[in-house]
A and B are shown apart, each in its own frame.
Chain A
Amino acid sequence: MIGEQPPREKADFIPWLPFLTLLLREILRFLRVSVQTVLTPIITASLYLFVFGATLGDRISVVEGFSYAQFVIPGLILMGVINNSFANTSSSLFMARYLGNIVDLLVTPITAPQFILAYTLAAMLRGLLVGVVVWVISMLFAPLPWIHPLLALLMACLSSFLFAQVGLLAAIFSDTFDELSMYSNFVILPLIYLGGVFYPISILPSEWEFLSRLNPLLYLIDGFRHAILGVGDTPLSTAFGIAGLIALGLFVGTTILVHLGYRLRS
């Protein structure tokens, strides 16, 4: 009998439990569909590695002292990190909005920063997991020198964090699957491909090099590669400075939108 239960006093509250629960929920969500969320991106990245590592890897060199495979692998690792961080937050939040179960979160005491950090950390875990597996597979094709391993890890985390915010924003501003796919196909993909994954911008004509420097992804990819190979198109401090500022700006913007309930609460 419910009446025989101990008197129900005002329930105790564990302030960080809502955050930890949402984080756990997000991790369990992507693990439950791990073929789609982890295995498929790894296979895609492995195909890139095969094409650029096994076929072209030793035949051309775009940076002195390194094979093409060694040049392209850091970019492919970061591409996996970025794509999966974006995909995790964007698909999870968009589906919650689309199916209506976002209200389960809106009625809880979770704060906007907790909400964003839980989504973001789960996306980072997925992105970094894919990145690590791509790196392990890449060892079959070419060894990397890892000149500044901690800086490389920091840039991978920063990139993942940044694109998790972009994913949240895409989910907030999209009303249909078509709109959501536009962000990945017409924004993320071109920025990645033109951001120096496959070539150094120093080999471009000056006007194209100038345009490439306006692409924020350049600083993430080049900074990551610079930390691993020890050479890059941009100083590490510039790359980290720009990446950090963009990540912070996006986090603040996303926090304000979620706090206001913009396009989340009616």
Chain B
Amino acid sequence: MVSALSIKNLSKNYNGDPAVKDLSLQIEQGEIFGLLGPNGAGKSTTINMVAGVTRIQQGSIEIFGYDNRRDYRITRRLTGVMHQEIVIDHFFTIDRTLRIHSGYYGAPYDEAWRQLLIERLDLTPHLHKQMNKLSGGLKRRLMVAKALIHKPRLLILDEPTAGVDVELRHNLWHLVREINKAGTTVLLTTHYLEEAEQMCGRIAIMNQGELVALERTPDLLNRIYGRQLFLHFERPVDNLPEQLEAMGAKLSENGLQMVFTLPRDRSAGDALREVCRLDLPVREIETRKAGLEEVFLELTGLKNRQGRAL
């Protein structure tokens, strides 16, 4: 089966500064694929090259087997894009905007589909309002509807939940899952790493224009850290026993907590046996798996750059 999106050796410079460097990746049909990275990593530039907003300098992009430059009239019909910045046509209402947007793609008018999107995105009470009367959340919902109005087979969402409330985020991800189940491939970028962790089957991480990771989400999570074992004590432990220190344990919370960072191939049993033998006053045991945030920080090098925002 042909890939939904195939990017080969893609590069782009802005005034000599590389924004994307020799990027290659494939997204298979039916996937929800996450593209992550810090600000300036090259995610939006990549997405804009896929969508046709930014010119490709080097390399190629195929969407369902069609070259997105040579066969742009096909690839753009197959693709729906929700841009990171809110872009709306101030002259028209939501109702008119959706009709116009459907026509831009040459799609036959489908009132049932339009109504479905309007209802699912809770736009019905706002259909005939002018754009300047809409809140930021409503504008985001309209942008989702615009991206979907022509029934794309590849949906690209660039930071779809930036600045939207919890309920809308929940509804939006629910809708994306449904659309994905109905056969649409989804490529998304988000700064909410827990969302990417929950939504995406595979994740690519970009940093400074380069691909630094591309794996199944669980594999990515297991890639660097195994897990951490937390022991909470009933009373403070003053000194860290040498045997435990040798096993990588550290004391924290003024001696009320001990943390073991366990490599993937190491059992927690060894540490627990030693703790029992020393008769430490354990009140509670907790294990935590590494989250995407830790993996992300490690791979992008941000962990060593204190204070830098994601």
Contacts and interface: CB of A to CB of B under 8 A. Distances in A.
A104 B87 contact: yes
A261 to B, nearest CB: 6
Interface in A12-33: 12-18, 20-22, 24-25, 28-29, 32-33
B103 interface: yes
Interface string B52-86: 11110000000000000000111011110101010
A5 interface: yes
Interface residues of A, number: 39
A7 B51 CA distance: 24
A106 to B, nearest CB: 5
B76 A108 contact: yes
Contact of B175 (A2, A11, A16, A108): A2
Interface residues of B, number: 47
B90 A99 contact: yes
Contacts of B73: 109, 111
Most buried by B among A15, A24, A28, A103: A103
Contacts of B96: 28
B91 A29 contact: yes
Contact of B116 (A2, A10, A24, A105): A2
B227 interface: no
B105 to A, nearest CB: 6
Most buried by B among A18, A20, A29: A18
A108 B100 CA distance: 12
Contacts of B101: 104
A12 B107 contact: yes
A109 B105 contact: yes
Q: Is the interface of A mostly helix, strand, loop or mixed?
A: loop
Contact of A265 (B55, B120, B150, B178): B55
Nearest to B19: A266
A8 interface: yes
A101 B89 contact: yes
B53 A2 contact: no
Contacts of B79: 107
Interface string A214-235: 0000000000000000000000
A100 interface: yes
B103 A21 contact: yes
A3 B178 contact: yes
Contacts of A15: 106
B48 to A, nearest CB: 7
A234 to B, nearest CB: 41
B53 A103 contact: yes
Nearest to B73: A109
Given A18-B104, A18-B106, A261 B175 contact: no
Nearest to B103: A21
Nearest to B150: A11
A110 interface: yes
A29 to B, nearest CB: 5
Nearest to B71: A109
B116 A11 contact: no
B309 to A, nearest CB: 24
Contacts of B178: 1-3
A266 B53 contact: yes
Contacts of A16: 106
B179 A2 contact: yes
B8 to A, nearest CB: 20
Given A3-B178, A5-B116, A25-B100, A107 B106 contact: no
19 contacts: A1-B178, A2-B120, A5-B113, A5-B116, A8-B151, A11-B150, A14-B108, A18-B106, A21-B104, A22-B104, A28-B91, A101-B89, A104-B89, A105-B104, A106-B53, A107-B76, A107-B81, A109-B74, A265-B54
Closest 3 CB pairs of A and B: A21-B103, A108-B104, A109-B73
